[in-house]
Amino acid sequence: MTLGAKRPDCGRTDLLGVGEPVDGAEQGPPAAARVGCNPAPATHSTRVVVPITAIVKPVRGQHPRLALGLATRAVDLTGWKPWGRTTPPAPAHPQSASTTAGARDEAKIRETWGDGRIGTLAVALSGERQSTVAWKSGAAGEAEVGRTLDAIASEHVVVFHDRRIPRSRANIDHIVITRAGVWVIDAKRYRNKRPRLQVEGGLFRPRTEKLIVGGDRTKLVDGVLLQVALVQDVVAPASVRGVLCFVDADWPLFGGSFTVRGIDVCWPRRLSRQLTALEGAVDVTAVAAAIAAHFPPA
């Protein structure tokens, strides 16, 4: 059986071979009749739904990995052409890093599987790259923490979101200035995973503290410590604390928040209560102006 065989009776291109039975199907009329193809080209249906076994069978021999993915999918080939996607290219516009990365991934897939139907199916079956999924998840976490912080903003509580670190591509998720000091907040979204403190060493070895969230995430602490140092240089002598705020984590009903290497680890609602309960003598207006001048919007 050949892929993309031309139907002489209706002028259509289908995945089914002429006269060949589909796995598990009874012998019957020709394949053209089975897919609803009328003899008259002007009246045939434009919707082509191909039994999945008709695709898996010819693919299985040469491309077993793709066949395995196809075996669990229902494929609607309406509007598909042998040369791939049929939609016209979108107008040129600035692309985000995730869009560019996705285009590179598709190019690599097509290098392996080609530009025909097999390549298009491989692109459709391939999931988003991990960095893209992580970016979307992180953005959702930032948005939720941002809404919680905006709810407590006042003349004594100034909130900044998404501030760029000079001479760097990195940014600070949130900065909050209160009378008690400055908080540098990094929002993270780890769904259904419980943050916990793991302490190692002690009597005969140096004591080390690790952040565990479904695995060792101590690098997150290192990142916040660096941001705290950068903000401290700008607002000294005002004190600066770092916070890792986890969204959608598996927090216990009682307790749960902790401090690792001087960085507070908590959830949005607890963070907002903590910020509004503190008092001090910091000049909120002056400190906010200094931060806004040094860390512009990203």
**What's the confidence (pLDDT) of residue 282?**
95
Give the contacts of 207 (CB within 8 A, at least 6 positions apart): 199, 200, 201
User: Taking all residues of the chain, what is their mean pLDDT, rounded to a whole number?
Assistant: 74
Mean pLDDT of 132-149: 72
d(CA 198, CA 186): 20
pTM for this entry: 0.56
**What's the confidence (pLDDT) of residue 217?**
96
Mean pLDDT of 146-151: 94
Mean pLDDT of 242-262: 94
Peptide bond before 237: cis, by omega within 30 degrees of 0? yes
Residue-range domain boundaries for the chain: 5-84, 133-294
In the structure, what pLDDT confidence band is assigned to residue 68 with cuts at 50, 70 and 90? very low
Residue 66 has pLDDT above 60, yes or no: no
d(CA 290, CA 171): 17
The more confidently predicted of residues 231 and 37 is: 231
d(CA 209, CA 212): 10
Residue 73's alpha-carbon distances to 31, 46, 125, in angstroms, are 21, 21, 9
**What's the confidence (pLDDT) of residue 103?**
67
CATH architecture of the domain covering 133-294: 3-Layer(aba) Sandwich (3.40)
**What's the confidence (pLDDT) of residue 204?**
85
**What's the confidence (pLDDT) of residue 167?**
92
**What's the confidence (pLDDT) of residue 266?**
97
